[in-house]
A and B are shown apart, each in its own frame.
Chain A
């Protein structure tokens, strides 16, 4: 005979797994299996009607590394991250400090900062088209008033990527501001008084008191910004389509293009596998860095 205690434990285990099973099935079908399949696909050649797909080991990766477009796209993505992440975080901090201070028209200021965050990326891109269009775009009209020559912002390799970055920063900064704003409101006001009594300048107070207290928030935002620098590519479809001559193409867009425009699944899979590796490293970084002292209770 099994004792009641064991029975109860077994009952709990069965209930637990039953509760988990719907989510686990969906996760397996749409996350774990596709991740695994990505790796497998990346090891096989691209099948054609005449030559069926065959196992080629790491050949697809080798081709990828020999493809100059891949390196250009990877470099673009690195630039995209290196520009959008620090600028949007800095802006977010400034916005939060201002939106938290006693300034006139504060609710207008807050709303203005945050509104872009809730627009679809596609809509944001449409709005910015108006700024960038060569003949009558607003940027060129303003430039014209100042005597500058018109610039084809989206149509030349030297500016296309920056134009794309600007839209991302516009979308992200207000979103990140919210997190800073919340963190700022948890800082006790006595700290500020104490700093004033000690004769610390506002700048010193900001640098020595506020910024360290905001550190966990900054890390949280940083992780989010890094993930966004991989996945925020919707506006490319409207603004540049990755051009001209791949100068504004980002990795996820290149994956999409390979898979759904060139029908080259193995190459797309190899790139996806590399991207998963980068995201995995990011996950490990987060678990190590943020393990104890984050927002996660």
Chain B
């Protein structure tokens, strides 16, 4: 008896868990009056997607989000590689004190500092730009920590061999450490991209025109009640926004889970 109870519970929970997405997908392909009355046999329609697509400059938003996550990732790779390398393999006075300062930033969340970060961004002329959205996240303490751990596990012999061959410090970093930390980079990339693809509050504050606005902010404006779009159209727009990331996730599910683990557990 109890052999069947737990699998049944597990599957029921799974169905409950996926149902908001399933309902939205179903509603997106049906006329709103059919959707809200649950006419299961109602005809399919693509009108909601058409209305949603014409209702906002989505292409621009997609492009902005794509450029934004690329920009942030590039900045993070550069800054965290250099700093992580210094913390892992260079010995000098003051290093450990600075490392503790960096770790503190794990708790000073950029989300909490919106008020003053806005002033900083304003005084640097970064408002309403992709650079303005991305800058606070580039020197991520999390990323520095992650790269430090990855570089620490690189065997010292490789390092010394490269130096004997005449490599400079940066040469050793580029030829030995960066290739060795390849899996960590991949994991970090997946975590970073999915975090910033989904980020909302800071982009909302910094942007005030569609020129830099990412998808999440665009979606929230599109769905706002004063915009008067119905629930089927909102569902269609939501699916359009999450579609690419969702597809990527379903294709690379294993890597995604592995990435969150590498990033979180190490």
Contact = CB atoms under 8 A, between A and B. Distances in A.
The judgment on whether A and B are partners is yes
A20 B200 contact: no
Contact of A108 (B14, B101, B109, B138): B14
B108 interface: yes
Contacts of B112: 230-231, 252, 255, 272, 275-276, 279
B18 A133 contact: no
Interface stretch (A62-70, A82-90, A111-119): A111-119
Contact of B119 (A37, A99, A138): A37
Contact of A24 (B7, B78, B98, B117): B98
Q: Among B98, B152, B266, find the residue whose CB has the most chain A CB atoms closer than 10 A.
A: B98
A224 B263 CA distance: 13
B201 A234 contact: yes
A127 B17 contact: no
Chain A contact-residue range equals: 35 or more
A13 B91 CA distance: 7
Nearest to A216: B265
Nearest to B248: A118
A185 B251 CA distance: 23
A69 B169 CA distance: 56
A272 B246 CA distance: 34
A182 B102 contact: no
Nearest to B79: A23
Interface string B13-25: 1110110110110
A216 B234 CA distance: 41
Nearest to A111: B253
Contacts of B136: 30-31
Contacts of B44: none
A105 B253 contact: no
B122 interface: no
A153 interface: no
5 A-B pairs with least C-beta separation:
A26-B139, A34-B116, A120-B198, A98-B10, A112-B14
Interface residues of B, number: 93
Nearest to A41: B116
Given A23-B144, A38-B115, A237-B220, 16 more contacts: A16-B95, A19-B83, A22-B79, A27-B139, A95-B13, A98-B6, A101-B10, A105-B11, A112-B18, A118-B249, A122-B216, A126-B223, A128-B20, A130-B20, A178-B261, A260-B118
A179 interface: yes
Contact of B113 (A17, A31, A128, A133): A31
Interface in B153-212: 169, 194, 197-201, 204-205
Contact of B20 (A16, A131, A252, A256): A131
Contacts of B149: 296-297
Given A112-B18, A256-B201, A120 B257 contact: no
Contact of A122 (B82, B200, B235, B256): B200
B108 A31 contact: yes
Interface string B210-253: 00000110011001000000010011011001100110011001
A115 B246 contact: yes
The majority secondary structure among interface residues of chain B is: helix
Nearest to B200: A234
Interface in A253-297: 255-256, 259-260, 265, 268-269, 272, 275-276, 279-280, 282-283, 295-297
Given A23-B80, A30-B139, A103-B7, A35 B24 contact: no
Given A111-B250, A127-B20, A234-B201, A120 B108 contact: no
B115 A113 contact: no
Contacts of A227: 107, 109
A191 interface: no
Q: Among A25, A27, A91, A99, find the residue whose CB has the most chain B CB atoms closer than 10 A.
A: A27
Contacts of B198: 118-122
Interface string A50-71: 0000000000000000000000
B106 interface: yes
A238 interface: yes
A194 interface: no
Given A118-B256, A178-B257, A12 B91 contact: yes
A147 interface: no
A156 interface: no
Given A113-B14, A128-B20, A20 B98 contact: yes
Nearest to B116: A34
B57 interface: no
Contact of A27 (B38, B82, B105, B114): B105
